[in-house]
Amino acid sequence: MYALPPGAPSNLADAFDHLASVRVPTVTDLTVMMLVEAAGKQMYDDLADGCADAGVRRLLQDSGRDEMVHAHRMAEVLQLLTRVPYLVPENSDNPYLAGRGKPDLSIPLLDHLIEAEANGQTLYETWAANCPNQEAAMLMRTSGREEMSHSLRLRQIREGMAGEMVTP
């Protein structure tokens, strides 16, 4: 199992809550973000697995692939700032995936994720603005823009689901 840095939140929900409050990230915060992003890939894949609609499944899997790219981008950010190599762990070694459940795609969950992804962009923008390394800041801005596209994808899925529910 990947060893969480001292002081890091011990589970995914706490990690999300903690990161949302960070304005100037420490190396620990950036490491937590790397792990959260890697966990995001699995979470999107889990949602896709439970989904009958092939189009929706593809949208979820596309966002999941981006989350793993974000994890690797965060490893690059860490390396730029610390000059030490960082590796994204396998899913089986990611402490933030331990003991997770498999939630069903529902309107309330979609609403939550739509907001969380949009907040992700704001968070990356804030971190980039407070980052002394321009290359690292650019990497974070790129991930931030993709979080907003995830939010829009989820909105598209939500509109489809809401439409189905009102169709007689």
Binding region for Fe ion (CB under 5 A): 37, 67, 70, 117, 147, 150
As measured in angstroms, the least distance from the Cβ of 147 to Fe ion is 4
As measured in angstroms, the least distance from the Cβ of 54 to Fe ion is 21
CA distance 93 to 166: 43
User: 6 or 137, CB closer to Fe ion?
Assistant: 137
C-beta atoms surrounding 164 within 10 Å: 9
As measured in angstroms, the least distance from the Cβ of 67 to Fe ion is 5
User: 29 or 147, CB closer to Fe ion?
Assistant: 147
Residue type at 126 in one-letter notation: T
User: 20 or 166, CB closer to Fe ion?
Assistant: 20
As measured in angstroms, the least distance from the Cβ of 102 to Fe ion is 19
As measured in angstroms, the least distance from the Cβ of 144 to Fe ion is 9
User: 45 or 67, CB closer to Fe ion?
Assistant: 67
Structural contact between residues 110 and 79, judged by C-beta atoms closer than 8 angstroms: no
User: 6 or 75, CB closer to Fe ion?
Assistant: 75
